[in-house]
Chains A and B, each alone.
Chain A
Amino acid sequence: MRGGEYPAMPRLLIIIGTVCLLAVVVTWFSLGADRGWSKTLVPVAKVDPVTELEFTEYEKRFVPGLDFLIAGSAGSLFLVALGLFLGKFTRP
């Protein structure tokens, strides 16, 4: 198969799927590679200077977990698979 003969739409799906897969993996790694569930609040430990009590404050921040990695990868791979499937049956 020569590259130029591959139909435009399936090729676009494969490219989008691959880019999404890379984006999902890079995002997951760069934001901490958390192996738990995704979080929208991040606990920050603090100490009250007078009572010396330790307490937790929450920062509103998204930390992607394994659910993000798995769902994102599955969606991306679906696009790639769909592109390959359509390419196989719509090639002239």
Chain B
Amino acid sequence: MKHLLLTASAVALVLPAHAAPLTFDFKDPKGVNNVVFQLDAPLESINGTASGVSGTVTLDPEKPGEAKGKIVVATDSLVVPNPMMKDHMLGEKWLNAAKHPEISFAITGISDIKKEGDKGEAKVTGTFTLNGVSKDLTVDARVNYLPGKLAERSPDKTPGDLLVIRSKFEIKRSDFGIKPGEATDKVADDIAISLSIAGSAPKE
């Protein structure tokens, strides 16, 4: 009986780590989370980054297909090295950061999951919102679940897990009502986006 109780206690201690969905917060105080965007027009190439990433993803590592969540990027966190170009980009005629302060991707479904240990690849479908226009989008994503690694990243050694997501995809600015058909010789219609983010799920 004593042996049975000990075994049950041990199982109860070990199992919950993967039994319930975890909510990963993507607001990263270290400022590592970032989005890179590239536009390659015939006359001008524009490269920039955005660091104002937030949002949450709820994921059960054993059932990744049921993940839900939303990643948000603050529009005014977009940076290009030239200050005048940055002012134009965030201004009323282009991204209008004052009126549309957020760019977001809300996950609606996950398919084609290839899982190998704590790493995986999948097609993530969601609603991408930019410049106040929302479109359904399916992107390839690579996910790396790092159980117990949060302590190595937090100054107060908070125990918990990390979820790293990488994704590369392309959108057209014309699809989102950003000056469609205008100035395409200097500002390309195609925008290559590369997302590199890590979320944390602290444990009580």
CB contacts under 8 Å to B, within A39-79, are: 39-43, 48, 50-58, 63, 65
Are the C-beta atoms of A55 and B32 separated by less than 8 Å?
Answer: yes
Known: A55-B33, A55-B196. A37 touches B82 (CB 8 A): yes
Are the C-beta atoms of B146 and A38 separated by less than 8 Å?
Answer: no
A87 CA / B47 CA spacing, docked (Å)? 48
Are the C-beta atoms of A42 and B81 separated by less than 8 Å?
Answer: yes
A37 to chain B, nearest CB (A): 4
* Complex interface: chain B residues within 8 A of A41 (CB): 79, 81, 83
Residue A50 contacts which of B84, B85, B152 (CB distance < 8 angstroms)? B152
A56 CA / B47 CA spacing, docked (Å)? 12
Are the C-beta atoms of A51 and B34 separated by less than 8 Å?
Answer: no
Binding site for B on A (CB under 8 A): 36-43, 48, 50-58, 63, 65
10 nearest A-B pairs in the assembled complex, by CB-CB distance: A39-B81, A51-B198, A37-B82, A48-B32, A53-B196, A55-B34, A55-B32, A56-B49, A41-B81, A51-B164
Name which of B47, B81, B82, B144 has the most chain A CB atoms within 10 A of its CB. B81
Number of chain B residues close to chain A: CB under 8 A = 27
Q: A37-B84, A42-B81 are in contact. List 10 more A-B contacts (CB 8 A).
A: A36-B82, A48-B32, A48-B198, A50-B153, A50-B162, A51-B144, A53-B166, A56-B49, A58-B81, A63-B81
**B196: nearest chain-A partner, CB-CB:** A53
CB contacts under 8 Å to A, within B143-176, are: 144, 146, 149, 152-153, 162, 164, 166
* Complex interface: chain A residues within 8 A of B93 (CB): none
Are the C-beta atoms of A39 and B82 separated by less than 8 Å?
Answer: yes
A47 to chain B, nearest CB (A): 9
A48 CA / B34 CA spacing, docked (Å)? 12
B90 within 8 A of A: no
* Complex interface: chain A residues within 8 A of B146 (CB): 50-51
